[in-house]
A and B are shown apart, each in its own frame.
Chain A
Amino acid sequence: MAKVKNKPAKSRHLKRFYYTVDQAVDKPFNWKQMWRLLEYIKPYSKTYLPGAIIAMLISTAVRLVVPIIIGKVALDVAIYNKDTTLLTYLVLGIGFLYLLNYISNILRIKWVNILGQNVIYDIRQHLFSHVQRLSHRFFDSRSAGSILVRIMNDITSLQELFTNGIINLLMDVVTLTGIIVILLVLSPKLALAIMVVLPIMFYISTKLRRNIRRSWQNVRIQQSRLNSHLNEGIQGIRITQSFSQEQENAEYFNGVNEDNFESWRIASKKSALFRPFVEMSNAIGTIILITYGAYLILYGGIEIGTFVVFAFFLGMFWEPISRLGQMYNQLLMAMSASERIFEFLDEQPNVKDKEDGFEFTDMKGEIEFDRVQFSYEEDRIALHEISLDIKQGQTIALVGHTGSGKSTIANLISRFYDPTKGTVSIDGHNLRDVKLDSLRQQISVVLQDTFIFSGTIMENIRFGRPNATDDEVLKAAKVVGADEFISRLANGYNTEVEERGNILSAGERQLLSFARALLADPRILILDEATASIDTETEVKIQTALGKLLKGRTAIIIAHRLSTIREADEIFVLQHGKVLEHGNHQQLMSQHGEYFDLVKSQFQMLDAM
């Protein structure tokens, strides 16, 4: 402890960083939620569930019966009367019961796990599929991490409940009542005396354990703070070394480390009390048994066998009580996890598919905005009554400052959102009446930050159309000029890439997403700042690729760079959600309006520097 106690004066850097930590809080027990959870067991209520319950009942019965046979029959009758034949039969009988127990245990463990895993699989599948169908609004307001936690950790925390929890609950209740009934039958007086320990045991397994668990929760909080800092510290190490803050950070870490140590010490101290308490309550039971039990044998007319049976069962009290206490805690945790899961499941997609939606097959690509108004939040209007008319095969450019509404227009075309007022239609069909899948399959969006999934390059391009052949993938890559850099990689198209892998540069990733979009062969193509953050040489390649990509499709281009915009058939200049002016480059330049100013100021900027 020397090092902990004689630490230097408190460091000034203990509050350098700030991490918020999720707490797993207990929720009160809620029957409605419990029923909803149990719904997931229903599909198995005629197969694995009854099987597991029967197997459980058999092994519980064996465990209850054997001590009675040993105590009441073997000791009191066979051995007392020196009856070796009976003893032999008893031994064989018990042997048979144990064999039965062995078999039913095998089946119970097997079925219980199959049941639990299937239920967990179903819940996870349900939640994941549901989340896939949710709209952009849902993802806008949540971090990826918090969604991940619900699909992975929250569901995993239900695993134990569905696997062993429910069966064990039944088993423990049966065992406990079984023991109590047997004891009461054998000797009501001794049974009542011994049951004094039950409330003590229940107290220990619920209240004391809960207290202990709270202190462990505190440990986990401290630990996730420590881990958050470690993670950030490693990722930011280059900055830390650049600013030579190694020592200061070490002092901060020492503080976190010490908090962690201290919370752990307190939790350990409390936990260490648990076993002595359990054993003391057992000891009290034993003392009652030997004093009162011996008294009853001598003066109260019970046999030694009864005494022995009591001794056996006294040892069996603790396990079910302890597990019931644990089960209670588990249920409380399951309540908070299932509440979070159901919160997502109850979330409805904002953009809904109509029952008898129109199936878009041969889209031409004529887009019409009729006095469309849209707001992300109630009092913040992103688009004011915009009307646009985009002809088949046209290339449209949207220009304007950040927040002028360019991306919103693009999002409405793919129907990621529904307009608050007015209608968006393609080929004359109101998008609200069209089947979402059939709509989006004919629209491709290329975003500024392309997402690369872990897998091979081939798989990543094929993401645009999963049933495309290798040849088609290759062809698409060649057309957009991605083939060149892919063939230079050691494993070519089979090179494994990942999200943050630095195998690919930003420009190369963008070329991949062009290939992806081309493979999807959409009727409408939306490029949302697709060519920002790319070095000059790659940009040239992308410009060439772009020409090929746009051919024969209706295209919406959102860009800052004039070189991309200039070629558009029509340019819309947006400001604060309104169209200020539109026309092609020449027309707009000669108008000397907002577009003209924009172009001019960009060059002035360059010259000023």
Chain B
Amino acid sequence: MDTFKRLKQFYWPFRKYFFWSLFFLVFVTAITVVYPIILQQTIDEVVLKDRYNIIPYIALAFLIVMIVKGFATYLHQYLGDLFGITSVYTMRDALYEKLQVLSFKYYDNAKTGDLMSRLTADVEGFRFFLSVGFAEVVRITLLILFSLSVMFYFSVPLTIVTMAAMPFLAVVVFRFDKRVHPAFRSIRKSFGNLNTRVQENISGMNTVKSLSREGFEIDRFSSSNGTYKQNYIKTSELWAKFFPLMEFIGNVCAVALLAFGGYLVIDGKVTPGELVAFFSLVWYILGPLMNLGFVINLFSQAKASGERLIEILDAKEDIVEKEHAINTPIKGHVTFKDVTLTYTENDDSALKNISFDAHPGKVIGLIGATGSGKTSITQLITRFYEPEKGEVLVDGKPVSDYQLKSLRKHIGFVLQEPFLFSTSIRENISYGNPDMSDEQIIDAAKRAQAHEFIMEMPKGYDTMLGERGMGLSGGQKQRIAIARAICINPSILVLDDATSAVDMETEFKIQKALKEVMVGRTSFIIAHRISSLKHADEILVLEDGKIFERGTHEQLLNNNGPYQRIYDIQYQDREAIMNGVS
């Protein structure tokens, strides 16, 4: 119950829908039981006693009652749904807002697929329970209660004989329920595998065709396809075993009813009308009973879903603004004092005692192998992570003193794989500041060398990007990402391996663009190619989270360190190639 208590804030404000829905439900179930009574009355009071004159009254009463039931059914269902969707509406907003503020650390360990399934399937599971599940428990209870009362009123012994099979049915229902869920899971799992198989095959089609492995792929697909089929058929064997059995038990009740009921009618202890009414009433009890397993399962699923949602809502927000955080323009003076950063406890530190001082307008180059800590440094400046030890200062103040927004809006980021959103190029460029005028957007695009190719597209700046949008090459995407970073006019610019995925020509264009952009901003350049960062005011060569050597290009060239080694590899063949060029 804790789960439901914790999520109370989302559904309790809308409780009036729920209670009204229940109120109407009582009418609905009570009136359901009226139908067999009308049948009984018609047979016993009209036909057998030859009193046709009361038929109009019975008919009228029935009509009125059914109209009332119609309205009650409508209101019960609509209000119940409304309760669920309104609650889930507020819940989704809360979840989304939470996701916006969770830190990088959280996302490092989260899988998109898993988060998505929580935000879709689990939210839906919870909604379904709110809308249908709880009311269904009430409905089943009421229906059984009302039907039993009527039956007992008609004949106690007949009721007992007829309902004798009920415990058997309950046992069958629960046994079925216990076995069907693992079976369904196996279907879902094998379907998931099949899906992955096909998805990989299509995404890797170039590789498949290059190695001529179509036949092999078809074989692999057949086996996944077959497993799915087998799992499905296995589950359907469960249905074949249990559904007819449930129906059979119900039918046995009906046979018992006919045998004992017929005998009682002959004996004069039960009227024929009552016997007929019993045939309907029996199914009002058996039907919901067969459903009970489903409802109970709804409850446990809703609980599990709720727990997974609470995990998101309660996730720790590592990066919190201070109470009196400052909001002030930033000049771009970045200082690291003995900074150590550890991502996960007991793991090796990603950064170890890093210190440097970058004055406004200076260019810092960061070079080193994958995992040496280059990116970590830049992510501390924006306070995406918090250092374990040491201080990260911007304009002399710790980054934790700033309001997050005021800090980050002065820092422009360009990453190796540019992530663009599904919207127009215009919206993408002005992403960091939606109030930008068209002139400013175009200016940013021009400076990023992007204006030209954007204008070549049929819709120019209104070209839609995204899965179904125009396909852009890696270099084009990167230039839009650069325009996006320029557009916020940052004091600090971070280029994280921004040009490694593009060909040389494009790299050259981008580098030229960047060089102009960097003027007047403190810039951090992460790169593999010496050519990208040799003009930096200071180059930090990182190895295993430590600064191995530092200095300008010229100083490092004769330092006999890793920098010189990288330089030699990249430029060794230059002389050889240029032989003959003079």
Residues of B within 8 A of A277 (CB): 70
Give A602 to B233 CA distance when docked, in angstroms. 63
Q: What is the minimal beta-carbon distance from A52 to any residue of chain B, in angstroms? A: 11
Q: What is the minimal beta-carbon distance from A16 to any residue of chain B, in angstroms? A: 6
Given A238-B107, A242-B382, A444-B211, CB of A228 within 8 Å of CB of B422: yes
Verify A121–B225 contact, CB threshold 8 A: yes
Of A132, A416, A513, the contact of B218 (CB 8 Å cutoff): A132
Give A65 to B419 CA distance when docked, in angstroms. 67
Of B13, B236, B266, B566, the contact of A82 (CB 8 Å cutoff): B266
Q: Does A25 contact B (CB under 8 A)?
A: no
Of A88, A244, A280, A299, the contact of B66 (CB 8 Å cutoff): A280
Given A239-B431, A268-B82, CB of A447 within 8 Å of CB of B206: yes
Give A577 to B489 CA distance when docked, in angstroms. 42
Of B73, B500, B504, the contact of A275 (CB 8 Å cutoff): B73
* Residue of A94, A105, A133, A453 with most partner-chain B CB within 10 A: A453
Verify B569–A599 contact, CB threshold 8 A: no
Q: Which of A258-266, A329-337, A426-434, A475-483 contacts B (4 or more CB under 8 A)?
A: A258-266
Verify A603–B578 contact, CB threshold 8 A: yes
Nearest B-chain residue to A243, judged by Cβ? B432
Contact with B along A1-37 (1 / 0, CB 8 A): 1111000000011001111100000000000000000
Verify A416–B209 contact, CB threshold 8 A: yes
Residues of A within 8 A of B252 (CB): 95, 98
Residues of B within 8 A of A132 (CB): 201, 208, 214, 217-218
Q: Which of B84-92, B297-305, B350-358 contacts A (4 or more CB under 8 A)?
A: B84-92
Give A266 to B198 CA distance when docked, in angstroms. 37
Give chain B's interface secondary structure class: helix
Q: Does A279 contact B (CB under 8 A)?
A: yes
Verify B504–A244 contact, CB threshold 8 A: no
Verify B38–A290 contact, CB threshold 8 A: yes
Verify A454–B200 contact, CB threshold 8 A: yes
Contact with A along B200-238 (1 / 0, CB 8 A): 111111111111111111100110011011001100110
Give chain A's interface secondary structure class: helix
Verify B216–A466 contact, CB threshold 8 A: yes
Verify A95–B239 contact, CB threshold 8 A: no
Q: Does A441 contact B (CB under 8 A)?
A: yes
Verify B382–A17 contact, CB threshold 8 A: no
Q: What is the minimal beta-carbon distance from A99 to any residue of chain B, in angstroms? A: 8
Q: What is the minimal beta-carbon distance from A135 to any residue of chain B, in angstroms? A: 9
Given A109-B236, A535-B528, CB of A272 within 8 Å of CB of B198: no
Nearest B-chain residue to A111, judged by Cβ? B240
Given A248-B434, A279-B70, CB of A609 within 8 Å of CB of B581: no
Verify A16–B423 contact, CB threshold 8 A: yes
Residues of B within 8 A of A90 (CB): 258
Verify A128–B432 contact, CB threshold 8 A: no
Residues of A within 8 A of B48 (CB): 304
Q: Does B391 contact A (CB under 8 A)?
A: no
Q: What is the minimal beta-carbon distance from B226 to any residue of chain A, in angstroms? A: 7
Contact with B along A557-569 (1 / 0, CB 8 A): 0001111001000
User: Which bucket holds chain A's interface residue count?
Assistant: 35 or more
Q: Which of B135-143, B243-251, B332-340, B438-446 contacts A (4 or more CB under 8 A)?
A: B243-251
Verify B120–A148 contact, CB threshold 8 A: no
Q: What is the minimal beta-carbon distance from B272 to any residue of chain A, in angstroms? A: 6
Given A245-B431, A276-B74, A290-B62, CB of A18 within 8 Å of CB of B466: yes
Q: How many Cβ-Cβ contacts under 8 Å join chain A to chain B? A: 426
Give A50 to B220 CA distance when docked, in angstroms. 32
Residues of B within 8 A of A561 (CB): 504
A residues 439-483 near B (Cβ < 8 Å) are 439-441, 443-447, 450-451, 453-454, 463-464, 466
Of A74, A246, A260, A264, the contact of B258 (CB 8 Å cutoff): A74
Q: Does B50 contact A (CB under 8 A)?
A: yes
Give A152 to B70 CA distance when docked, in angstroms. 41
Q: Does B324 contact A (CB under 8 A)?
A: no
Residues of B within 8 A of A261 (CB): 85-86, 89
Nearest A-chain residue to B529, judged by Cβ? A536
Q: What is the minimal beta-carbon distance from A445 to any residue of chain B, in angstroms? A: 4
Q: What is the minimal beta-carbon distance from A204 to any residue of chain B, in angstroms? A: 13
Verify A106–B47 contact, CB threshold 8 A: no
Q: Does B6 contact A (CB under 8 A)?
A: no
Given A18-B423, A94-B258, CB of A84 within 8 Å of CB of B244: no
Q: Which of A39-47, A229-237, A368-376, A386-394 contacts B (4 or more CB under 8 A)?
A: A229-237
Q: Which of B155-163, B165-173, B403-411 contacts A (4 or more CB under 8 A)?
A: B403-411
Given A113-B240, A234-B116, CB of A286 within 8 Å of CB of B198: no
Q: What is the minimal beta-carbon distance from B67 to any residue of chain A, in angstroms? A: 8
Given A147-B202, A560-B504, CB of A536 within 8 Å of CB of B55: no
Of A19, A147, A254, A562, the contact of B466 (CB 8 Å cutoff): A19
Q: Does B296 contact A (CB under 8 A)?
A: no
Q: Does B531 contact A (CB under 8 A)?
A: yes
Nearest A-chain residue to B81, judged by Cβ? A268
Of A18, A128, A226, A257, the contact of B198 (CB 8 Å cutoff): A128
Of A235, A244, A536, the contact of B419 (CB 8 Å cutoff): A235
* Residue of B255, B265, B415, B488 with most partner-chain A CB within 10 A: B255
Residues of A within 8 A of B46 (CB): 290, 294, 298
Given A239-B431, A290-B62, CB of A244 within 8 Å of CB of B210: no
Q: Which of A136-144, A195-203, A319-327, A544-552 contacts B (4 or more CB under 8 A)?
A: A136-144
Of A4, A99, A290, the contact of B86 (CB 8 Å cutoff): A4
Contact with B along A413-443 (1 / 0, CB 8 A): 0101000000000000000000011011101
Verify B62–A287 contact, CB threshold 8 A: yes
* Residue of A233, A526, A561 with most partner-chain B CB within 10 A: A233
Q: What is the minimal beta-carbon distance from B582 to any residue of chain A, in angstroms? A: 10
Q: What is the minimal beta-carbon distance from B472 to any residue of chain A, in angstroms? A: 13
Contact with A along B541-582 (1 / 0, CB 8 A): 000000000000000000000000010011001101111110
Q: Does B508 contact A (CB under 8 A)?
A: yes
Verify B247–A562 contact, CB threshold 8 A: no
Residues of B within 8 A of A446 (CB): 210
Of A16, A240, A599, the contact of B577 (CB 8 Å cutoff): A599
Given A128-B198, A402-B505, CB of A271 within 8 Å of CB of B251: no
Verify B81–A4 contact, CB threshold 8 A: no
Give A379 to B135 CA distance when docked, in angstroms. 65
Give A213 to B329 CA distance when docked, in angstroms. 55
B residues 100-116 near A (Cβ < 8 Å) are 100-102, 104, 107, 110, 112, 115-116
Verify A304–B251 contact, CB threshold 8 A: no
Of B62, B115, B244, B404, the contact of A105 (CB 8 Å cutoff): B244
A residues 65-109 near B (Cβ < 8 Å) are 70, 74-75, 78-79, 82, 84, 87-88, 90-91, 94-95, 98-99, 101-103, 105-107, 109
Given A109-B240, A287-B62, A402-B503, CB of A102 within 8 Å of CB of B200: no
Residues of A within 8 A of B578 (CB): 599, 603
Q: Does A397 contact B (CB under 8 A)?
A: no
Q: What is the minimal beta-carbon distance from B485 to any residue of chain A, in angstroms? A: 9
Given A3-B90, A235-B112, CB of A244 within 8 Å of CB of B404: yes
Of B39, B207, B222, the contact of A125 (CB 8 Å cutoff): B222
Residues of B within 8 A of A350 (CB): none
Residues of B within 8 A of A139 (CB): 202, 205
Given A101-B251, A106-B244, A290-B58, CB of A148 within 8 Å of CB of B580: no
Q: Does B316 contact A (CB under 8 A)?
A: no
Of B69, B85, B196, the contact of A265 (CB 8 Å cutoff): B85
Known: A253-B96, A436-B212. 7 other contacts (CB 8 A): A107-B240, A232-B466, A257-B93, A279-B70, A280-B67, A444-B211, A537-B569
Listed A/B pairs (17) with beta-carbon separation below 8 Å: A74-B258, A79-B262, A118-B229, A132-B217, A144-B203, A148-B195, A232-B422, A234-B110, A279-B66, A297-B47, A307-B47, A439-B212, A440-B210, A444-B211, A451-B203, A600-B581, A609-B534
Shortest beta-carbon contacts, A-B, top 6: A440-B212, A113-B236, A451-B204, A445-B210, A105-B244, A243-B432
